[in-house]
Amino acid sequence: MALQFDTTLRNTMLDSIETSISSGGAGKVQIWTGSVPANCAAASTGTKLWEYTLGTDFMANAASGSKAFNPVPLSAAAVATGTAGYFRIVNNGGTAIMQGTVATSGADLNLDNTSINSGQTVQITSWTVTAPGA
């Protein structure tokens, strides 16, 4: 049987994500080409297409075991050209804290378009994290 956690614990786990990312300064969300690295400790692969500096309160409070990023939609100009493959959130020191898949729907982070051109406005259309153990 898989571990299960009550909703209060799941919400606490999720709320700690925002604290971890923003400790020591603003974190950043990055969009990269290629496949998601094996884990957050592995080096980024591919080309960095987009980067956005997160504010101090970039996620809503966790509720019912999930936590949404805000503001969504969130947009900024691309810095390179390529096909979005994965995202990473890095802390102020550049250490990856979270990573996952990117697509236009059904991914960990959803964009308006995964075919990105330098200078194009890239927009995150939905982005929610759900805690395990429901």
Number of domains in the chain: 1
Does a structural domain hold residue 54? yes
pLDDT at 2 over 90: no
Confidence band, pLDDT 50/70/90 cuts, at residue 100: very high
* C-beta neighbour count of 50 within 10 angstroms: 25
How far apart CA 36 and CA 56 sit, in angstroms, is: 26
The pLDDT of residue 116: 97
pLDDT at 69 over 80: yes
Does a structural domain hold residue 1? no
DSSP state letters, 53-119:
E--TT-BPPPBTTEEEBSSSSEEEE-SS-EEEEEEEEE-TTS-EEEEEEEESSSSSEEES-SEE-TT
pLDDT at 24 over 70: no
Confidence band, pLDDT 50/70/90 cuts, at residue 11: very high
Q: Which domain holds residue 116?
A: 7-130
Q: Which residue has the higher pLDDT, 133 or 122?
A: 122
Does a structural domain hold residue 2? no
| Residue with token string 């606490």 | 12
